[in-house]
Each structure stands twice: as C-alpha cells, then as structure tokens.
Structure 1
C-alpha cells in the first residue's frame, strides 16, 4: 500500500473532528464519503469498578436494562423503531466504562441519536423486563461456570489482580446477580450515568460538523452535577511467589490452561515492544513459538497462544492452551521452557521484521469499515494516544529493536512469579 492510500484510510488530526461540549461530552467525527451509512460508538464512565463486592454485575445488569423501556417508549416500541429503520443500538459494560454502539443509514442518524439519548437519560427499568433479563443473565452465568476456559481465566485474573476490580467478573456471579434489586439498578443509573467523561464517535456518510450538531441537539443539554466520579484503583503488584491452582469440573474431557503474570498497561512506554514480543512468542503464524512447540511439534495442545491485555491501570501477559488432561504437566513444562528462552536471548531480526510488517500491513485493513474507524478513534480517546497516533504508528513499530523486546520481556515475564491455573477433570 502506497503512502497516499495509507493516509487516506488512517484517521488523523486533519480529517477528524474532536470537540468537548460544555457538559463534558467529547465528540469525535469522521466523514466517509464512500459510505451510505453511519456508525455511532462511545462510552460513559459507569463501569463495574462502581460495583459493591456483594453486587458484582450491577453495572452490567444496569447497562443491559437501558433498552428495556423508557418514559417515552416501551421495550417493544424501541425495537420496532430500530427495526423499521434497519438500525441497531446496544450497550455493554466493562470495568471502566459502559460502552454503546449502533448503526443506521445516514438519513436516520437523528433517530439513532434520539434513541441513544432517550435510553441513557430516561430508562424506567420495568419490573417484568428486569426479571426476564435476570433469568437470561443467570442462564448465561450458569453456562459460564461450567466452561473450562472461562473458569480458568476468571481464577487467573483473581490471582494476579487480588482485591482489584480487574480481578472481578464484570458480569458478576449467580449469587450476586440473583440478589440485585430493581431499586439498586435504578439507584446505580441515577448516581453513575451522566455526560461528564462521556465519549461519542460518529463515522460515516455525514459531514463532521453536521454530526457534531446532531450530537449537541440530542445530548448537549444533559447535565448531572452530582454524577459519581470513578473511585481510585489500588496499585497493582506482581506476585511474590508462584501460584498453582486447579479447578475441578466434573464431566469434562479437556483441560484449559492459563498461565502468566501482570503486563504493561496500554499507555505504558513498554506496551508496543511487549506487544510485538508477544506476537513472536505466541501469536504470529500458527501461534508463534509456543504454538510451534506445544501444538505443532509435540502435539500436546488443541490450541496454544499468548496474549497481551493492556488496560488503563495495567494489564496481563498470559499464555493459554487447551490440552488433554494427560498432557497438562508436560505442556506447562514446555511453555515455561519457551518463556525462559524468550527472556534469555533477543528475538531474531527475521522474526521481528515479520511481526513489524504484519502490524503495519493489517492496520489499514481494520480501518476499511466505519465500525473499524470508530473503534480506532475510541481507542485513541480512551488511552489518550492523540489523533496523530496512527499516522506515527508505522515509524513507531519499525523503531522497536530485539534488544527492547528482550528488556521488556525480562521486566514482566518472570516464570518464578507466574500464576498457573487449569480447569477441567480431576488431576491424577
């Protein structure tokens, strides 16, 4: 891809509007003249870090309840309105935020923004709909609690993020969700939902200034002086000693394994080198070095890969594998061997060059749709990376050296401090 095509696809400060409204809402907009539709995405600072310990899942439950009826429209009317326009709108919660997303034809953007404002500002949480949603959530949690991969991941996060919102399930537990009341949902919405810290992105067949005016019309008068501010997060500390845990789930024939440690947050100067290193360790091609050894050469795992998860306050660097129970200990030994090799010597120039080319080459592919651009702009805002980040991205990727990757890997990947969690049949 030549430079002109790259810069045409990649958003930057010259073609992206960014403005913060007097009420605290930040608007980002980018026009796509080749599209007939528009995507709206964004978030509010009303995530699960506000959840009381005995009401885990409250933020998630509240977010999913917003579409269940408002002062103006009941549940069915909201969906009939969206369906008649061929539009969509939905919500989901994470630790820091409640996210929303929708799409419509450009001519229906005012309708979409009106429904967004309505469901954010005036939900009524009908008792019957709340109970119907609770039943759906409890069914999902019951299924999750019998999934070996989900159980291993939950236990891993609980171990490496002790006493921290990152170590708690955003969707709660069966017990906590069963006990959440409609009044608690209503109170959570009243306290935590408001315009301060809200971000909304509009991408597609609408000029930037026109999109801004529509957002102002829909949400510019929203005020909440007493809106709750996110609580401070406790400091993250690496494990002092290794932790090994197995979760026995009767009737299972596969064991899922998660092992790893804390990783850099998304805004850390270590992040890009760690990300490229992770690609080499457990992502590139057939899942990198770990996949090559554990899966391809030894045939011990159905899948084996590494992932780097960078969030606002920190992150995790973890390796996962699905294995036959008889191969669990051998797989753990091989993974630890590969990690020790990874922190003993630099990656090869050829490995790094392949990953760098992949990172640079696939970025424009993720920006070919309105949704891809909206997601990219939200990431820039969430982590305060700057509107010129993607324009600088190829140069930043190319500047990473094998020595930098080795230094960062040694800083985080310390096998003697790993959490190793498995879930599946009983250990023999």
Structure 2
C-alpha cells in the first residue's frame, strides 16, 4: 500500500436547518462539489473521498470526481460525530488498500475553502512542525458572554481596559473549513485536536459556515465576489432565447407580427461553437416563428413552446448522450432557474434577474442581445483549448547548432 494524503468530506443527507443542505448550490455549484473542487485544486492531496449515507450525494460526488464511502445510517444521524465518520472512512479505505498518512477533513458547509491555505496546512503536518492544523480567521474583537440573568461578562479582555487594536494581540476563530492531521495518531486519539496544534490564517472573506437559510442566501450573494474566475469546461451549450439572444424587447407591427433585434456577434459565436463540434440548443417557452427562423439561420437545434424547460433539457441531453454536468446553460429570468439548477455550468447574462445571478456559476460581462452568447462561446472555446493543451504530449526538441 502507498501512503497518501486523503481529503475526506463527510456529507450526510439529513439536515434540520436547511433541507438537503449539502446539495444546495452556491455560485452554481452544489456545496459538496465545492468542497471536492477545493481539494482537487490542492497539489498536496492525492485522493478526494466523500463519506455519505445519501445516494444522490454519492452520485454528485462521483460526477465531480470524488471517491465515495457509503456511511452506515448509525453514523449519519444528528448525534453522530464527525470523528466517527472519519474513522469509518479510514477503515473502508484501508480495506481498499489505501494507506492514509495524512488526513484532511473538509466541511462542505464551508463554501469558500481556501485551497492554498489547505496546501500550507498539509505541508505543516507533513514536515512534522505540527501534529494537527486547522483554518482560522484572525480577530481583534472584544468577546463577551451572557451570564445568569443576561449579565454580560468580558471573555478575552479586562472590561476596565480598552487598548487600541495595535496594542493588542489577535485571537483566532475557527472557520470550520478544514482540519489536517496525521491519520495514525488521529485514530489512536479519536479526536481532531491532539499534540502540537497549529493554525493557518485564511482571508476573512472565506470565513463562512452555512447553517441557516440566511447564511445560505448570503453565501450565494457573495460567491461572485469571492470565487476565483474559472475556465469554462463543457461539451455543449444550451441557451434561452428572449433576453439572451435578444435584449428582451419586441417590435410588434400593426398586423401583429413580432420582430426582435439580435447580435451578429452572437451569430459568429454560435458558428464558432459549431465548427469546434460543440452542440448548441435554443430552448424557449415561447412559440414564435422568429425563434425558429433564428435557429435555422444559426443551424442549431431548437425546442420552443415547452412548458417544462428542465424536462426538455434533460430529454435533449439524453438524446445527445451529453451528461447534464457537461452542459452550460445560459439564461436571464426566473423561468430558467430549473435548468440552471440541473446543469454543471449555469451561466447568466449581465442584466439577468437577481435570482438567476445568484444561481449562476459564471456571470457574463455582456447583456442579453448585446454579445452575451458570443462571450459564452469565447469562454467555452478557450476552455477547450486549455484542456487540449493540458492533455497534449510534450516532445523535447533539439535545435541544430
């Protein structure tokens, strides 16, 4: 067996504060998948594992590239400790021939896990400078507790002395994002804190845990400010029509016929996608000859007059053999939300409805009808070029003197 650094993400199906919390999306990505991605970005981590009792979470975990340990129900209740899930995962991995030297415990309820800080924590444990390391945020706040009868008592300060910030030492607040420890010692102790304990500072903007609907809403609103830009890596593009290919206005003639304004730039973007072999579908709830005419002009598939857009999307994905996780969907309004919540890469135009902006993994810098489709096409083509470059073999070249 080869010793390795393994990230374990406990993600049970039950949750009292927020139903199906680990599958809720922040920045267009399920929380459990965000933790998987954070671990995958770490150069120090060899394997990512999700421990779960829930088949749907297990499916999402595999879809995003993690191994799965099926957790028994007695270790997935409200009273079960995280340590019990971690020890069970280590037992299963050992039976699979995986010798875990360092265990990184990640929590999916922390949506903004800092991968660089996680790498730093692993290196600190690997070099034996500390036995266990956790993420924390620096604070100079004056902490208080409420005593009996509601009377306030100072915790980390003398209530009669109010020194300036620069004259005080900081305290550190656990973020709950990650804990790194040597696996053998952890099994012996049965607790994440033992021996010499170290702290890795993380930026305050990443220090968020989601336990309430309000915290989930806050994380969704902050995601586009906190998340680093990503390379869009998909195999197909599906778009709404009104408000995406158009600016969401229509000119109605005296005979009742409608006309819309579209962007030639968007047309070129679709053409480039087709040349690159990327399937494109226009999906619209409207039944309008202008939609069909535009699709014919662009030479792409079209489904219009559909009441259930998500069902139509899934039917098209099944017919083309492209997993929903490999599809980008571009929308602008609330009737796009069901589709945005099903694909791997939900995208919003710049002037989209606030709920759509919150559901998106990528928000374009172009409005509907103003080059948004071309902007997405450029991102997709750049992503394919980057993927091709990363997988192409490298040949050493010798120059003739």
Q: Which TM class, normalised by the smaller chain length?
A: under 0.3
More helix by share: 1
- Which structure is richer in relative contact order (CA contacts within 8 A, separation 6 or more)? 1
TM-score (norm 2): 0.27
Highest Rg: 1 or 2? Answer: 2
TM-score (norm 1): 0.25
